[in-house]
Structure 1
Amino acid sequence: MLKLIHGADFHLDAPFGALPPDKARQRRAEQRQLLTRLADLAEEEQADLVLLAGDLLDGGQTYQETVELLARTLGGLGVPVFIAPGNHDCYDPRSVYAGTAWPDNVHIFTSVGVESVALPQLGCVVHGAAFTTPQADRSPLMGFTAPADGLRHLMVLHGNVEGKGRYGPIDRGDIAASGLDYLALGHIHSYSGLQKAGETWWAYPGCPEGRGFDETGDKGVLVVTLGERREDLTARFVPLAGRRYEIVEVDVTGAENAADALRDALPATPSEDICRLALTGQRDFAAPDLNALAALAQPWYFSVSLRDYTRERRDLWARVREDSLTGLLLRSLKERGPDHELAARFALAALENGEDPYP
């Protein structure tokens, strides 16, 4: 049996530009704690090796304490670690990867062409490649086939399966033809589930911690176990994030005011998460004061923001007596009974050039 940890897209030292400067600084410090949790997981699982599929660093500005902690933590794992630089942390002579003295157990792939490292003590070979520029329009898997030599063949890459862009597009046919036992991928920030092309298993673990409201929910890494037979491979998702981004819908329909609706939606106890509260529904009161509502919700979250998607309730049949096309249409639908109310809402929206049903 062979057990590995597969992680990707840590984006250490991300700017967190949507947060106030003090909280952005705090979030970067918290990101570094992901490395400690990664090390704890590797020890707990007694992993044989660690594969990190690119964008460990966000690339805009990398702080020295981050580089030192990364090298020290990976060196302390005591097992082989393989890094395939991605489009945010591409390898070049001026990169952190080139300018840092890495521990002996850490191997960083430095070429767009596939490199291979044999680990005879584990009965496997780890293949990988690197982004050497922020964009790459050719798949490193193209034309690659692992030898049928009785060893387990693993690969770690940063790329986009079936992507048509310039971030390492990878065709499923190339995965199927690769002869790999497992392809550890990075670039997509959500967990893909364990996939298979031909006889090759592959997966994206997603990012281990969200950085915005397009990365909500649990985030983490994979614990991958290879059994004696190729078909026995399993992958288990392990949450690693200290904080989550969450979007909570607050329906104000029927509420006397927005504050009452918001209080009903707040958690029972304060949360460590970063939350966006989305006000929805039809209201019978004035437009909500978002600043006041944010102040009400702030003690319940690490950070909170609000969006107002509510609409003022209007009388559906207010124009029924008009001598107009609208009045004629409404009279016709109202005479047909309450079952035609929804049709009236859509009809009014269409007449007013609205996209959604009339409120």
Structure 2
Amino acid sequence: MLKLIHGADFHLDAPFAALSPEKARQRRAEQRQLLSRLADLAEEEGADLVLLSGDLLDGGETYQETVEALSHALGQIKAPVFIAPGNHDPYGPRSAYAGTAWPDNVHIFTSVQPEGVELPELGCVVHGAAFTTPQADRSPLMGFSAPRDGRIHLMTLHGDVAGQGRYGPIRPEDIAESGLTYLALGHIHACSGLQQAGETCWAYPGCPEGRGFDETGEKGVLSVTVEDDHAVSARFVPLAGRRYEIVEADVTGKDSAGEALRAVLPPSPSGDCCRILLTGQRSFGAPDLAALTALAQPSYFSVSVRDNTRPLRDLWQRAGEDSLTGLVLRALKGEKELEDRELAARFALAALEHGEDPCP
């Protein structure tokens, strides 16, 4: 049996442009703490291998202290570590991968052509390939087929399954024909869960920590087990120190936006990054977003408030019109025995005016 830790898309030294310069610096420092948590997890899980599938570095501006922290953390792992550089951190003669002295347990793939590293003590072969330019329109799996020699064949790659773009598009058919037991992928920032094509299992772990509101919720890595009969199972392990969350605050029936906002704030500061969306129909004026943001700020590391509300409308204001809408509203208004005339009127207006479901 083999135990693997599969991670990808750390994007160390990302700019965090949406945050203030001070908080962006703090977030970059916190990203480096992910590396210690990765090393601790490998120890806790008793990992035989660690597969890192590209974009460990964001590539815009990489600080030497970050590369040193990465090298140090990977050197603390007692298992072999394999890195397949991605489109944000392609391998090249001037890349951080080429210009750094890496620990003996770290192997970095350097070619677009897959190469294999035999690990006889584990009864497996780890294959991998690298981006050597920021774009690659050729499948890194094209023409690859692992020998059927009874050993466990693994591969770590950065690429886009079923993608049509310029970031290593991989066809599911290529995965099915690869002869691999497990394909460890990077590039997609959402965890895919364990997938299968033919007899080959594959997965994206997603990024280990979100960087924006397109990367919400828990983020982490995969703990993968490969049995002696080549059966594969995978478990998601959260690793993020902070999360991005989008929360809705419904103002319908509330006396103020502040009342709606207080109802969704956490009971104690969460330390996460949050976007609060005000929704529903309001019976008061336009919300003061600056004041509401100040009210929410103590509850989060970073917070923004957006207004998606609509003024409360008089359901019966068009009842006097000489139109189909007016006719329907007059009929509903006259139905004194109708249990919920207002709800019926909302449905009628939504259908007549917009073809939509009614607002609450």
Partner of 2:6: 6
Whether the aligned pair in 1 keeps the contact of 2:222 and 2:234 (CA below 8 Å) is yes
TM-score (norm 2): 0.94
Whether the aligned pair in 2 keeps the contact of 1:85 and 1:109 (CA below 8 Å) is yes
Give per-residue Cα distances to partners, 1:184-238, cap 9 Å, x unaligned: 000111111111111111111010000011111110001111111112x211111
Structure 1 pair 302–333 and aligned structure 2 pair: CA distance change class (3 A): same
Structure 1 pair 286–348 and aligned structure 2 pair: CA distance change class (3 A): farther
Distance in 2 between the 1:46 and 1:358 partners?
Answer: 53
1:230 is paired with a residue whose SS is coil
Residue 154 of structure 1 deviates from its aligned partner by 0.2
Whether the aligned pair in 2 keeps the contact of 1:208 and 1:220 (CA below 8 Å) is yes
Distance in 1 between the 2:46 and 2:345 partners?
Answer: 63
> 1:91-102 residue pairs with structure 2 within 5 A?
91-102=91-102
Give per-residue Cα distances to partners, 1:232-283, cap 9 Å, x unaligned: x211111000000111111111110011111111111111111111111111
Distance in 2 between the 1:314 and 1:328 partners?
Answer: 18
Partner of 2:349: 345
Whether the aligned pair in 2 keeps the contact of 1:334 and 1:340 (CA below 8 Å) is no
Distance in 1 between the 2:178 and 2:264 partners?
Answer: 50
Distance in 2 between the 1:285 and 1:300 partners?
Answer: 25
CA RMSD of aligned residues (A): 1.7
Distance in 2 between the 1:59 and 1:132 partners?
Answer: 13
Query: Sequence identity of aligned pairs in percent?
Result: 74
The reply on whether 1:281 has 2:280 as its aligned counterpart is: yes
1:37 is paired with a residue whose SS is helix
Give per-residue Cα distances to partners, 1:171-191, cap 9 Å, x unaligned: 111111111010000011111
Whether the aligned pair in 2 keeps the contact of 1:161 and 1:172 (CA below 8 Å) is yes
Residue 330 of structure 1 deviates from its aligned partner by 3.9
Distance in 2 between the 1:329 and 1:347 partners?
Answer: 11
Partner of 1:61: 61
Whether the aligned pair in 2 keeps the contact of 1:124 and 1:154 (CA below 8 Å) is yes
Residue 100 of structure 1 deviates from its aligned partner by 1.3
Whether the aligned pair in 2 keeps the contact of 1:126 and 1:153 (CA below 8 Å) is yes
Partner of 2:145: 145
Partner of 1:121: 121
Distance in 2 between the 1:25 and 1:119 partners?
Answer: 40
Distance in 1 between the 2:323 and 2:38 partners?
Answer: 68
Partner of 2:244: 245
Residue 322 of structure 1 deviates from its aligned partner by 2.4
1:55 is paired with a residue whose SS is coil
The reply on whether 1:263 has 2:267 as its aligned counterpart is: no
Q: Which runs of 5+ in 2 are unaligned?
A: none
1:97 is paired with a residue whose SS is coil
Partner amino acid for 2:76? Answer: G
Partner amino acid for 2:304? Answer: S
Whether the aligned pair in 1 keeps the contact of 2:5 and 2:223 (CA below 8 Å) is yes
The reply on whether 1:319 has 2:323 as its aligned counterpart is: no
Residue 137 of structure 1 deviates from its aligned partner by 1.1
The reply on whether 1:218 has 2:222 as its aligned counterpart is: no
Whether the aligned pair in 2 keeps the contact of 1:55 and 1:89 (CA below 8 Å) is yes
Structure 1 pair 307–122 and aligned structure 2 pair: CA distance change class (3 A): same
> 1:28-47 residue pairs with structure 2 within 5 A?
28-47=28-47
Distance in 2 between the 1:260 and 1:342 partners?
Answer: 25
Partner amino acid for 2:206? Answer: G
Distance in 2 between the 1:205 and 1:326 partners?
Answer: 52
Whether the aligned pair in 2 keeps the contact of 1:12 and 1:66 (CA below 8 Å) is yes
Give per-residue Cα distances to partners, 1:133-185, cap 9 Å, x unaligned: 11111111111110011211000001111111111111111111111010000
Partner amino acid for 2:95? Answer: S
Relative to structure 2, which stretch is displaced further, 325-334 or 195-204?
325-334
2:97 is paired with a residue whose SS is helix
Partner of 2:296: 297
Whether the aligned pair in 2 keeps the contact of 1:146 and 1:153 (CA below 8 Å) is yes
Q: Which runs of 5+ in 1 are unaligned?
A: none
Partner of 1:76: 76
Partner of 2:109: 109
Q: How many residues align?
A: 355
Structure 1 pair 253–172 and aligned structure 2 pair: CA distance change class (3 A): same
